[in-house]
Structure 1
Amino acid sequence: MSISNYKEYKSHLTEFELKNSPEDLFFEGDFPLIYEGQRVSVVGSRKVSDEGKRRAEIITKALVKKGITVVSGLAEGVDTIAHKTAINYGGKTIAVLGTPLNKVYPKFNENLLTNIKKDHLAISQFPENFPFRPANFPIRNRTMALISDATIIIEATEKSGTRHQGWEALRLGRTVLILENIMKDKSMKWPSEMIEYGAQILTRDNLDIILDELPYLTAKIDYAF
């Protein structure tokens, strides 16, 4: 069985997933990446620290090594690192845009998006000429959470939009993994709140075990198992 369009893809969603899915989805690239195998979102701050950059690369390399498609939002910082690292190490990546497919934000990722459209997958729920609004990005975070088996939060402040994806993923019954360094920052309340709702702490020691045990929540092809 293969799925060639979004309408057919939606027919394989659960009732709850369908309720939380975009009405329309526009794409360029390798559409089967959205349903074959496993996908994990790698997300975090736009103004990421040097340590955060290093951690994003380590996590993304680990996902690629296990054949997991890397999902991110093409934003500055962690998202850009995740996409580029996946590509550079021979993995697959999906860019979920907060803009229409014919718009690039940030502008400096224009070549990256072109590459993703050609050899990977770019998706957007916003039609051409849809206005640029800050509210688009929390909306696209829900879609990122929906198509991913897990979300890994690399780095995020108390006011970071990354939190939206974590909560959306938990609400959808997806795995949420928060890096240990975030939990050590006692100035932030959201990490411990997410842990109370089922998020897990991700460390260098448990990384391989957790990735090996990730459930196939989003694969829509029976023979993937």
Structure 2
Amino acid sequence: MELTNAEKRLLALHYVFPVPLNRLSRLYDRDPNLERLYTYRANELVDLLNISLAKAIQLAENLQRNAMTPYDKLYERHTITPIPFSNPYYPDQLRILIDPPAVLYTKGDQQLLKKPFKIAIIGSRKATVYSRKAMSLIVPPLVANEVVIISGLAKGADTMAHEAAIEFGGKTIAVLGHGFFHLYPKENRLLAEEMVKHQLLLTEYPPYVKPERWTFPMRNRIISGLSNAVVVTESTDKSGTMSTVEHALDHGKDIFIVPGPITSPLSVGPNKLLDEGAKPVWNGFQIIESLVLNH
């Protein structure tokens, strides 16, 4: 993937200042091609990036120190393909977010980003066999209609969603809450390696960024943003799943819910969403019909 000089400068900035695009808006208003990136004084960066003087001094020093580093070549060596926000491969659905990723770092088949229909399937890290059975009814019709399955590579429902897509011969995208040098959870290493070959992994974080409590809620807006609709299997009332649902509602996406037994604590989240007007789902054809009607 060919990058412009402006995009290469963004890679250099994002490596030392990995923030969403809205945090860079003043800088881009002043300098659309980042031509002055290596010459800004610390007091200018304070104003342009709304950061403290101490951070600005450190940022200016880091930029100067790494001014000649060919980040695009380094990423290529690790089979990482960066997609800056200005690149044609960058998904249009993410541009409308309040805080779009400035860069997406990807491994695998970037063509999946161009597929017209994508459905997020999410749920609890403690999802049971009930989620797996539900996916066996929901995923095959989606795969048959070339819908890409999106999830977050977490334990439980996310893992089941990626595995179901692969098992039924479909395509799947995992959105990670960390950089590629720190795969989490470790139990999914083999799944991630398999996905790099035929599917797609992506993250908004440079490779060195470790998983933190705040990085996963941030990645949920990308899962929602990329998807035409969201399917929830099992979930407690307050969880990362509900965070993704909130983003999806903000983005005007349809929410499909697998109704759960009232005796299960993992049914509390889904059943509450049903009460609030989300759509019950028990097979993938219902989602296909909705996608056709809405497009």
TM-score by length of 1: 0.82
Which secondary structure state, in structure 2, belongs to the residue aligned with residue 214 of structure 1?
Answer: helix
Matched residue, 2:218: 139
Q: What does residue 286 of structure 2 align with?
A: 209
CA distance in 1 between counterparts of 2:293 and 2:239 reads: 28
**Partner residue, 1:79:** 158
Name the residue aligned to 1:30.
109
Is the contact made by 1:40 and 1:152 (CA closer than 8 Å) also made in structure 2?
yes
Q: Which runs of 4+ in 1 moved over 4 A?
A: 9-12, 182-187
Give the counterpart of 2:100 among 17, 21, 25: 21
Whether contact under 8 Å (2:172, 2:200) holds in the other structure is yes
**Which amino acid in structure 1 is aligned with residue 257 of structure 2?**
I
Checking the alignment, whether the CA contact within 8 Å between 1:57 and 1:82 is kept in structure 2 is no
Q: Which AA in structure 2 matches 1:213? A: S
CA-to-aligned-CA distance 1:165-190 (integer Å, 9 cap, x gap): 11101101111111122789798377
CA distance in 2, matches of 1:15, 1:131: 23
TM-score if structure 2 supplies the norm length? 0.64
Alignment of 1:31-180 (within 5 A): 31-180=110-259
Instruction: Report deviation, 1:88.
Output: 1.8
How many angstroms apart in 2 are the aligned matches of 1:11 and 1:70?
Answer: 18
Report sequence identity in percent. 30
One-letter code of the match for 2:157?
V
Q: Distance between the aligned counterparts of 1:119 and 1:17, measured in 2?
A: 28
Say if 2:268 is the partner of 1:188.
yes
Number of aligned residue pairs: give it. Answer: 212
CA distance in 1, matches of 2:247, 2:293: 18
Unaligned runs of 5+ in 1: 218-224
What is the identity, as a one-letter code, of the residue corresponding to 1:144? I
Please say if residues 39 and 68 of structure 1, whose CA atoms lie closer than 8 Å, have aligned partners that are also in contact. Answer: yes
CA contact (8 A) 2:235 2:269 kept: no
Amino acid at match of 2:268: M
Using the alignment, how far apart are the partners of 2:160 and 2:115 within structure 1? 23
Larger radius of gyration: 2
Three-state SS of the structure 2 residue aligned to 1:163 is helix
- The alignment yields a C-alpha RMSD, in angstroms, of 2.9
Closer, same or farther in 2 for the Cα pair 1:216/1:103, shift >3 Å? farther
Distance in 2 separating the partners of 1:90 and 1:56: 14
Tell me the secondary structure at the aligned position of residue 103 of structure 1: coil
Out of 153-162 and 175-184, give the one that drifted further: 175-184
SS in structure 2 of the partner of residue 133 of structure 1: coil
Question: Which structure's residues are more often helix, by fraction?
Answer: 2
Structure 1 CA distance for aligned equivalents of residues 185 and 88 of structure 2 = 29
